[in-house]
């Protein structure tokens, strides 16, 4: 019995210590802005591996999710004879919810796990400690470009996701199911507000990008430097990022679109 | 991969992101560069505004001419006072026009329709509509019908 209570206490200590290390780590990575001449090429390379390489999965998922929304929306709305509202439904769902959330989940799986594994392996092969020996701060050289690349890439990926999804929805509902195109766009434009819907969605993606990248690089940096440690850190990245995204999404939605 | 190729592809990626934001702004949310034009204010008092809310549509003959800015309660008359922002180029609404709350379609949104009067003078900024017609309340209609009034 006492052992159980002690284990719970130890767990509490560990959680608090990890959160503290993560905060300290984030501060160190963000405070150390490298010189533009050094930092910019590093950032571009990370943007490429985090953003451009995630583009394919984001575009394909966006297309299919938009097409499914079009199909489902049409089936439900045609019962009420208001299938012209399908454009409005697709656009609002994608811009407010599915764009940010699904992109963040894909981003955590595609880019976050790769970041964790890469940094974890750097730690296991003692590249990070060699850098420190050479007087190069690994937080600045390795972590900061990856963090910034995640912040920048995630909103871009999410807006591309929404646009491709809306296009996929139009493909199904207008070209295939025969919804009148003018009504499709007209309903959409009269109900989607740029500031309230699109920009709030972008704010969500910025928050998600921040959280996902932070979790990913911290798990890599903080992992146990063995092959088992790296694998468990990668798993943790995906699990924690997904949970954080879904939980934060509820909070953000309540703040942005809730009436209170 | 060569640094230059990486840079070019990343640049294209960022351009794609900007293009996507533009599509969301212009095509999806219908934000047009000229839409932030001048407006002037008119008021209308209703006994029942139904589902009219800020940003709602104000139309004349089905064409959008403005939007609802706010809905407040007039504490003296206990009526709803609706502030309307009308496009500045629609400056010749006859003074005896009335504001009517209508519904687009059966399940659609409610909007304010301006029925044109025949007066030679037109409403000037800050004026109120002389006559208004409140939202049709289905429940009240049914109750009246059922009680034989």
Q: Using a CB–CB cutoff of 8 Å, tell me whether A194 touches chain B.
A: yes
What value does the mean pLDDT take over residues A121-150? Answer: 88
Instruction: Give the per-residue pLDDT at A94.
Output: 92
**With b meaning 16 or more CB within 10 Å and e meaning fewer, what string describes B33-51?**
eeeeeebbebbbbbeebee
* CA–CA distance, B14 with A47 (Å, rounded to integer): 9
pLDDT surpassing 80 at residue A151: yes
Cβ-based contacts of B3 with chain A (< 8 Å): 41, 44-45
Report the residue from B17, B27, B30 with minimal CB separation from A156.
B17
Write out residues 55-84 of B within 8 Å (CB-CB) of A.
Answer: 55, 57
Instruction: Give the per-residue pLDDT at A153.
Output: 92
- Structural domain boundaries in chain A: 35-252
Question: Mean pLDDT by 10-residue block, N- to C-terminus, for chain B (149 residues)?
Answer: 81 89 82 68 87 82 84 88 87 86 74 85 84 78 79
pLDDT surpassing 80 at residue A34: no
Q: Do A188 and B30 touch (CB under 8 A)?
A: yes
Interface test with B, best of A160, A161, A183, A209 (most B CBs within 10 A): A160
Rg (CA), chain A: 22
Q: Using a CB–CB cutoff of 8 Å, tell me whether B142 touches chain A.
A: no
Helices (H) and strands (E) in chain A, counts: 12, 0
**How many degrees, rounded to 5, is the angle at CA A252 between CA A246 and CA A256?**
145
Report the residue from A55, A95, A166 with minimal CB separation from B13.
A55
Interface test with B, best of A45, A48, A198, A206 (most B CBs within 10 A): A48
Q: Using a CB–CB cutoff of 8 Å, tell me whether A176 touches chain B.
A: no
What value does the mean pLDDT take over residues A30-41? Answer: 74
Q: Using a CB–CB cutoff of 8 Å, tell me whether A160 touches chain B.
A: yes
Residues A226 and A124: beta-carbon distance below 8 Å:
yes
What value does the mean pLDDT take over residues A168-183? Answer: 88
Retrieve residue A73's tokens: 């929306």
Residues A159 and B24: beta-carbon distance below 8 Å:
yes
Pairing state between β B98-103 and B131-133: parallel
Retrieve residue A155's tokens: 């909103």
User: Tens digits of per-residue pLDDT, A203-238?
Assistant: 999 999 999 999 999 999 989 989 899 999 999 999
Cβ-based contacts of A194 with chain B (< 8 Å): 24-25, 29, 31
Write out residues 90-109 of B within 8 Å (CB-CB) of A.
Answer: 105, 107-108
* CA–CA distance, A10 with A7 (Å, rounded to integer): 5
Alpha carbons within 13 A on the beta-carbon side of A36? 0
Instruction: Give the per-residue pLDDT at A84.
Output: 81
Q: Do A159 and B17 touch (CB under 8 A)?
A: yes
Q: Using a CB–CB cutoff of 8 Å, tell me whether B147 touches chain A.
A: no
Instruction: Give the per-residue pLDDT at A56.
Output: 92
Enter the DSSP assignment of B108.
S
A43: left (phi over 0), alpha (psi -120 to 50) or beta: alpha
Q: Using a CB–CB cutoff of 8 Å, tell me whether A206 touches chain B.
A: no
Q: Using a CB–CB cutoff of 8 Å, tell me whether A79 touches chain B.
A: no
Q: Using a CB–CB cutoff of 8 Å, tell me whether A190 touches chain B.
A: yes
**How many degrees, rounded to 5, is the angle at CA B37 between CA B36 and CA B38?**
130
Q: Do A162 and B24 touch (CB under 8 A)?
A: yes
Q: Do A156 and B25 touch (CB under 8 A)?
A: no
Query: What is the DSSP secondary-structure string of B59-98?
Result: EETTEEEEEEEEEEEETTTTEEEEEEEEETT----BTT-E
pLDDT surpassing 60 at residue A192: yes
Percent of chain A whose predicted confidence (pLDDT) is above 90: 50
pTM: 0.77
Q: Do B21 and A82 touch (CB under 8 A)?
A: no
Residues B84 and B44: beta-carbon distance below 8 Å:
yes
Tell me what the pLDDT averaged over chain A comes to.
Answer: 89
Residues A181 and A102: beta-carbon distance below 8 Å:
no
**How many degrees, rounded to 5, is the angle at CA B84 between CA B55 and CA B59?**
75
* CA–CA distance, A176 with A62 (Å, rounded to integer): 18
Give CA A132 to chain center in angstroms.
Answer: 30
Cβ-based burial of A213 (10 A; exposed 0-12, middle 13-18, buried ≥19): buried
Give CA A258 to chain center in angstroms.
Answer: 23
* CA–CA distance, B141 with B51 (Å, rounded to integer): 17
Retrieve residue B109's tokens: 């949104």
* CA–CA distance, B130 with B128 (Å, rounded to integer): 6
**How many degrees, rounded to 5, is the angle at CA B32 between CA A169 and CA A175?**
20
More confident residue, A153 or B110: A153
Strand order across the beta sheet in which B131-133 lies? B39-46, B79-87, B63-74, B57-60, B110-115, B98-103, B131-133
ipTM of predicted assembly, 2 dp: 0.76
Q: In angstroms, what CA-CA distances link A179 with A21, A73, A74, A84? A: 54, 11, 9, 6
Retrieve residue A197's tokens: 């819907």
Q: Using a CB–CB cutoff of 8 Å, tell me whether A156 touches chain B.
A: yes
Interface test with A, best of B7, B17, B58, B103 (most A CBs within 10 A): B17
Residue in the block written with tokens 């640094």:
B3
Q: Name the residue in chain B with its Cα closest to that of A158.
A: B17
């Amino acid at each position: 019995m006492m052992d159980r209570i002690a284990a719970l206490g130890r767990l509490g200590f560990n959680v608090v210590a990890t959160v503290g290390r993560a905060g300290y780590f984030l501060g160190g990575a963000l405070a150390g802005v490298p010189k533009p001449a050094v930092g910019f090429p590093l950032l571009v390379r990370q943007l490429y591996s985090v953003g451009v390489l995630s583009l394919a999965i984001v575009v394909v998922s966006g297309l299919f999710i938009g097409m499914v929304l079009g199909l489902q929306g049409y089936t439900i709305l045609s019962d009420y004879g208001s299938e012209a509202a399908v454009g409005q439904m697709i656009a609002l769902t994608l811009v407010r919810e599915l764009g940010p959330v699904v992109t963040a989940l894909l981003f955590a799986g595609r880019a976050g796990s790769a970041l964790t594994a890469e940094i974890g392996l750097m730690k296991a092969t003692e590249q990070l400690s060699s850098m420190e020996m050479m007087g190069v701060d690994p937080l600045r050289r390795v972590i900061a470009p990856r963090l910034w690349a995640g912040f920048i890439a995630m909103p871009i990926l999410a807006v591309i996701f929404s646009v491709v999804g809306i296009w996929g929805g139009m493909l199904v509902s207008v070209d295939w199911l025969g919804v009148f195109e003018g009504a499709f766009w007209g309903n959409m434009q009269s109900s989607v507000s740029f500031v309230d819907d699109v920009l709030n969605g972008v704010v969500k993606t910025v928050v998600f990008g921040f959280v996902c990248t932070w979790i990913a690089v911290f798990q890599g940096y903080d992992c146990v430097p063995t092959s088992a440690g790296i694998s468990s850190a990668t798993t943790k990245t995906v699990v924690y990022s997904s949970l954080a995204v879904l939980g934060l999404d509820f909070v953000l939605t309540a703040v942005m679109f809730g009436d209170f | 991969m060569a640094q230059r190729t990486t840079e070019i592809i990343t640049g294209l990626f960022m351009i794609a992101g900007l293009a996507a934001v533009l599509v969301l702004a212009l095509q999806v949310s219908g934000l047009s560069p000229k839409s932030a034009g001048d407006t002037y204010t008119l008021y209308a008092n209703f006994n029942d505004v139904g589902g009219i809310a800020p940003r709602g549509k104000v139309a004349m003959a089905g064409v959008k001419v403005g939007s609802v800015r706010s809905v407040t309660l007039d504490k003296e008359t206990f009526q709803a006072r609706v502030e309307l922002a009308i496009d500045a180029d629609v400056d010749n609404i006859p003074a005896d026009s009335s504001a009517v709350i209508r519904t687009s379609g059966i399940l659609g949104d409610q909007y304010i329709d301006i029925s044109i009067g025949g007066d030679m003078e037109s409403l000037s900024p800050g004026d109120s509509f002389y006559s208004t017609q409140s939202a049709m309340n289905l429940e009240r209609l049914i109750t009246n019908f059922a009680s034989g009034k």
